């Protein structure tokens, strides 16, 4: 039986290999990237961590359920079936065996090839591994990146006393990581942003560290240092994964505890956490104490918690680390077959009182120094149907929030999903990240209907409609507001090697007491020539009633060999103003994510090169970026202004693996 499955999947894999190329990080981002998320800082941080996971794929034979849940497009049902298959067949010799799992479709298999690998030589019983053997068989990695701007901003021309930058314009980061058998993981990071001082700032501006162990008896996970947490639907806490999106393929918030390996300076916890498993019950606890940047009122209370992570000027340095928060929380989860029940809560204390201000839109911001949030969540999954939801309560203003969702797999080709959300304007959680139109799970109610369809083998269609309402006036408004959003995305595969993508989005949303109507269109054709070449042509349109229409045309070329990969992107853009800007994913070095906006009239060129040396242990990467505007002689404003229509920069990165 085992041999027949391997032979069958091997034959099918050969057939598929002739019809599709290897999935790359750039391919993945372009398929899942969406204007819906482009400007959300939290999503950018999560994508950078997912990029780091793509650079360090998990071994599917030893990955735990918690590790697989870090892959946000994998459902609990798929994770369970993967683990069942590995248990029954004593592992996978190749990822091609995923075709024997009914719930894992062809697109999911393509994505998984980026984040997973199968090592047939690693069939070691967990109880035979010791700390000594884990350290002896560990893999080490050191990486360093530096950004060299070939332009000058005004902030470097002024003294710090006049509001200028204290440091040089270079960006630098360095990271060390040790990992062994998906059970031991430790590392450290250091980062300096452009304009931040180095010597006078005791070295790099921010530091991070972590130590994580897994799967040791009843101890499922333990982490010390910097980490992230996510449970339920993300209403109580979800700083460890993606929020459920309207159109994104990433539908599952990451569950459990995980180390913070990225460069995020804001959305994380620092301290210790652990998850214990007792049969079908899991108990997770965490304790955190960390510093935040904050702007203060005259009486020493906090007006705003800053999230930029920048410390370039004297004013920004004054806000650095002048707020301390301490938090403690726990989650209790019971799992039985397809049913999951859980409860999550945490308490948070600030050493200064939060006093956000009297403006109307700020009156619903959290005030005080002590906060408590508690919630219950559930989910049920069967072969064709799934339910899930979470209800939470915050003590500070006595607010409630709930998110309910359902999914019906009508057939192997059609899935219908629906969700409803109600977030009171009195509800607030500092670590929440859930489906919402705005950046916070607060002051919003709405409903979403979504259809995922594959009418033909070569055609994939995703369509959704979302209706939302904000009872309390948001920023720039004097009254309650409502809006609607709809989108259709269709991808057609032509002769197995070429794809045509069409996406249209319509959004109606109020701003400055006026209804704005946005229309976005993307046409994209991708052609793969042999195993090495790929050409991609893209047309983007963003139309805003009464503000005009912006467009962009781009051409990307990629060439790949075993030891080298090069990529180039040339874009022409023309938009009448910032409101009609175009978002575009750009090729970057490994472990990074860049989805900038283009506005005005100009050209953008990005070229990258990646070279594997010393038996692929040493990876050298270089990136060159160029922007030229036709309609202006300066770029930016204030201290960020560049007095030239040209902008050039170079990025260098080295990564050594042993």
Residue 595 within any structural domain of the chain: no
In whole angstroms, what is the distance from residue 534 CA to residue 530 CA? 8
Q: Does residue 171 sit in the same domain as residue 265?
A: no
Cβ atoms 613, 619 nearer than 8 A: yes
Reported confidence tier of residue 42, pLDDT bands at 50, 70, 90: low
Q: Does residue 232 sit in the same domain as residue 295?
A: yes
How many C-beta atoms lie closer than 10 Å to residue 537's C-beta? 13
Q: Using one digit for the tens of pLDDT, what is the confidence trace for 172-230?
A: 999 999 998 888 999 999 999 999 998 766 789 999 999 999 888 899 999 999 999 99
**pLDDT for res 394:** 96
Q: Does residue 212 sit in the same domain as residue 280?
A: no
Q: Does residue 206 sit in the same domain as residue 312?
A: no
**pLDDT for res 128:** 62
The closest alpha carbon to 488, from 251, 244, 246, belongs to: 246
Structural domain count of the chain: 2
Residue 59 within any structural domain of the chain: no
The closest alpha carbon to 564, from 492, 523, 618, belongs to: 618
Tell me how far CA of residue 600 lies from CA of 148, 264, 631, in angstroms.
25, 30, 7
Q: Does residue 319 sit in the same domain as residue 430?
A: yes
**pLDDT for res 8:** 43
Q: Using one digit for the tens of pLDDT, what is the confidence trace for 291-315?
A: 999 999 999 999 999 999 999 999 9
- What does the mean pLDDT of the chain come to? 87
Residue 558's SS3 state is: strand
Q: Residues of the chain with pLDDT > 70: what percent?
A: 90
Per-residue pLDDT for 15 more than 50?
no
**pLDDT for res 529:** 85
**pLDDT for res 348:** 97
In whole angstroms, what is the distance from residue 125 CA to residue 477 CA? 61
In whole angstroms, what is the distance from residue 46 CA to residue 228 CA? 11
How many C-beta atoms lie closer than 10 Å to residue 446's C-beta? 23
Q: Which of 36-40, 290-294, 323-327, 633-637 has the lowest mean pLDDT?
A: 36-40
Mean pLDDT: which of 3-7, 479-483, 510-514, 560-564 is highest?
479-483
Reported confidence tier of residue 245, pLDDT bands at 50, 70, 90: low
**pLDDT for res 402:** 97
Mean pLDDT of 31-41: 60
Tell me how far CA of residue 167 lies from CA of 145, 159, 200, 338, in angstroms.
18, 10, 9, 55
**pLDDT for res 247:** 57
Q: Does residue 287 sit in the same domain as residue 387?
A: yes
Mean pLDDT of 122-144: 76
Residue-wise DSSP of 574-642: E-SSGGG-EE------TT-----EE-SEEEEEEEEEEEEETTTTEEEEEEEEEEEESS-S-BS-GGG-B
Residue 532's SS3 state is: coil
In whole angstroms, what is the distance from residue 619 CA to residue 438 CA? 39
Do you know the residue count of the chain?
Answer: 658
Mean pLDDT of 370-378: 96
207 contact partners, CB below 8 Å, separation of at least 6? 188, 189, 190
Q: Using one digit for the tens of pLDDT, what is the confidence trace for 306-343?
A: 999 999 999 999 999 999 999 999 999 998 888 999 99
Of the three residues 423, 447, 471, the one that is the final residue of a domain is: 447
Residue carrying the six token digits 């009609």: 580
Residue carrying the six token digits 């040790």: 178
Per-residue pLDDT for 10 more than 70?
no
Q: Does residue 423 sit in the same domain as residue 289?
A: yes
Tell me how far CA of residue 49 lies from CA of 135, 203, 264, in angstroms.
24, 24, 9
Q: Does residue 200 sit in the same domain as residue 249?
A: no
Residue 10 within any structural domain of the chain: no
Per-residue pLDDT for 257 more than 50?
yes
Per-residue pLDDT for 14 more than 50?
no
Per-residue pLDDT for 544 more than 60?
yes
Q: Does residue 164 sit in the same domain as residue 298?
A: no
Per-residue pLDDT for 636 more than 50?
yes
Per-residue pLDDT for 508 more than 80?
yes
Per-residue pLDDT for 243 more than 60?
no
Reported confidence tier of residue 246, pLDDT bands at 50, 70, 90: low
Tell me how far CA of residue 448 lies from CA of 190, 469, 513, 524, in angstroms.
41, 12, 24, 26
In whole angstroms, what is the distance from residue 338 CA to residue 388 CA? 11
Residue 20 within any structural domain of the chain: no
Q: Report the Cα–Cα distance between both ends of the chain, in Å, rounded.
A: 38
Reported confidence tier of residue 503, pLDDT bands at 50, 70, 90: very high
How many C-beta atoms lie closer than 10 Å to residue 637's C-beta? 8
Cβ atoms 598, 540 nearer than 8 A: no
Residue 15 within any structural domain of the chain: no
Q: Does residue 240 sit in the same domain as residue 212?
A: no
Residue 271 within any structural domain of the chain: yes
Per-residue pLDDT for 658 more than 60?
yes
Reported confidence tier of residue 63, pLDDT bands at 50, 70, 90: confident
- HEC states along 117-140? ECCCCCCCCHHHCCHHHHHHCCEE
Of 383 and 357, which is predicted with more confidence? Answer: 357
Cβ atoms 273, 237 nearer than 8 A: no
**pLDDT for res 421:** 96
DSSP classification of residue 434: -
Q: At what angle do helices 41-55 and 25-32 cross, to 10 degrees?
A: 150
Of the three residues 394, 415, 447, the one that is the final residue of a domain is: 447
**pLDDT for res 201:** 62
Q: Does residue 193 sit in the same domain as residue 234?
A: no
User: In which domain, by residue range, is 273 found?
Assistant: 228-447
Q: Using one digit for the tens of pLDDT, what is the confidence trace for 388-431?
A: 999 999 998 889 999 999 999 899 889 999 999 999 999 999 99
DSSP classification of residue 299: T
Helices first, then strands: H and E counts in the chain: 8, 30
Tell me how far CA of residue 247 lies from CA of 272, 296, 379, 504, in angstroms.
35, 39, 21, 12
**pLDDT for res 6:** 43
Of the three residues 422, 447, 472, the one that is the final residue of a domain is: 447
Reported confidence tier of residue 536, pLDDT bands at 50, 70, 90: very high
Residue 382 within any structural domain of the chain: yes
Cβ atoms 91, 98 nearer than 8 A: no
Of 536 and 121, which is predicted with more confidence? Answer: 536
Q: Does residue 198 sit in the same domain as residue 252?
A: no
Mean pLDDT of 453-477: 93
**pLDDT for res 44:** 67
Residue 117 within any structural domain of the chain: no
Half-sphere exposure of 508 (CA within 13 A, CB side): 10
């Amino acid at each position: 039986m085992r041999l027949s499955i391997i032979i069958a999947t091997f034959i099918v894999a050969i057939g598929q290999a002739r019809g599709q190329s290897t999935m790359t990080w750039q391919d993945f981002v372009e398929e899942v990237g969406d204007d819906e998320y482009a400007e959300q800082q939290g999503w950018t941080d999560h994508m950078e961590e997912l990029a780091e996971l793509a650079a360090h794929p998990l071994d599917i034979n030893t990955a735990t359920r918690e590790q697989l849940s870090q892959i946000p497009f994998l459902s609990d049902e798929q994770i369970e079936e993967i683990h069942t298959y590995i248990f029954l067949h004593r592992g996978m010799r190749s990822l091609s065996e995923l075709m024997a799992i009914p719930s894992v479709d062809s697109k999911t298999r393509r994505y998984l090839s980026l984040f997973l690998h199968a090592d047939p030589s690693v069939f070691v019983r967990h109880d035979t591994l010791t700390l000594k053997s884990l350290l002896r068989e560990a893999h080490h990695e050191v990486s360093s990146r530096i950004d060299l701007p070939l332009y000058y901003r005004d902030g470097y021309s002024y003294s710090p006393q006049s509001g200028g930058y204290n440091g040089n314009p270079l960006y630098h980061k360095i990271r060390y990581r040790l990992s062994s058998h998906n059970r031991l993981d430790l590392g450290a990071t250091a980062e300096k942003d452009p304009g931040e001082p180095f010597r006078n700032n005791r070295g790099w501006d921010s530091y991070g560290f972590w130590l994580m162990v897994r799967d040791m008896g009843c101890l499922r996970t333990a982490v010390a240092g910097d980490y992230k947490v996510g449970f339920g639907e993300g209403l109580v806490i979800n700083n460890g994964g993606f929020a459920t999106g309207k159109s994104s393929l990433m539908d599952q918030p990451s569950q459990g505890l995980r180390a913070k390996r990225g460069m995020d300076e804001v959305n994380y916890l620092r301290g210790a956490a652990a998850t214990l498993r007792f049969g079908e019950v899991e108990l997770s606890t965490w304790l955190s104490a960390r510093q935040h940047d904050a702007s203060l009122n005259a009486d020493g209370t906090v007006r705003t918690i800053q999230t930029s992570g920048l410390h370039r000027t004297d004013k920004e340095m004054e806000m650095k680390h002048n707020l301390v928060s301490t938090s403690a929380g726990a989650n209790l989860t019971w799992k039985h077959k397809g049913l999951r029940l859980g409860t999550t809560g945490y308490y948070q204390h600030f050493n200064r009182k939060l006093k956000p201000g009297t403006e109307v839109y700020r009156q619903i911001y959290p005030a005080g120094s002590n906060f408590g949030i508690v919630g219950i969540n559930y989910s049920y999954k069967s072969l064709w149907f799934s339910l899930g939801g979470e209800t939470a309560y915050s003590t500070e203003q006595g607010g409630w929030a709930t998110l309910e969702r359902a999914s019906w797999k009508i057939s192997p080709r059609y899935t219908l999903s629906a969700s409803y959300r109600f977030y009171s304007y009195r509800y607030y959680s500092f670590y929440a990240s859930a489906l919402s139109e705005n950046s916070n799970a607060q002051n919003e109610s709405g409903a979403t209907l979504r259809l995922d369809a594959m009418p033909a083998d070569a055609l994939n269609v995703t369509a959704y409609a979302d209706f939302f309402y904000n009872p309390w006036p948001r920023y720039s408004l004097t009254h309650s507001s409502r809006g609607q959003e709809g989108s259709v995305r269709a991808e057609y595969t032509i002769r197995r090697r070429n794809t045509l993508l069409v996406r249209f989005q319509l959004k109606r949303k109020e701003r400055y007491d006026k209804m704005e109507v946005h229309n976005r269109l993307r046409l994209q054709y991708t052609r793969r020539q042999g195993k090495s070449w790929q050409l991609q042509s893209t047309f983007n349109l963003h139309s805003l009633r009464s503000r005009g229409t912006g467009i962009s045309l781009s051409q990307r070329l990629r060439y790949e060999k075993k030891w080298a990969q090069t990529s180039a992107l040339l874009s022409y853009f023309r938009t009448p103003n910032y409101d009609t800007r175009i978002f575009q994913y750009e090729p970057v070095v490994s472990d990074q994510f860049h989805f900038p906006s283009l506005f005005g009239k100009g050209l953008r060129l990005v070229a990258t090169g990646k070279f594997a040396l010393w038996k692929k242990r040493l990876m050298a990467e270089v990136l060159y970026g160029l922007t030229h505007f036709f309609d202006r002689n300066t770029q930016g404003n204030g201290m960020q202004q560049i007095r030239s229509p040209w902008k050039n920069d170079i990025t260098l990165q080295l990564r050594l693996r042993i």
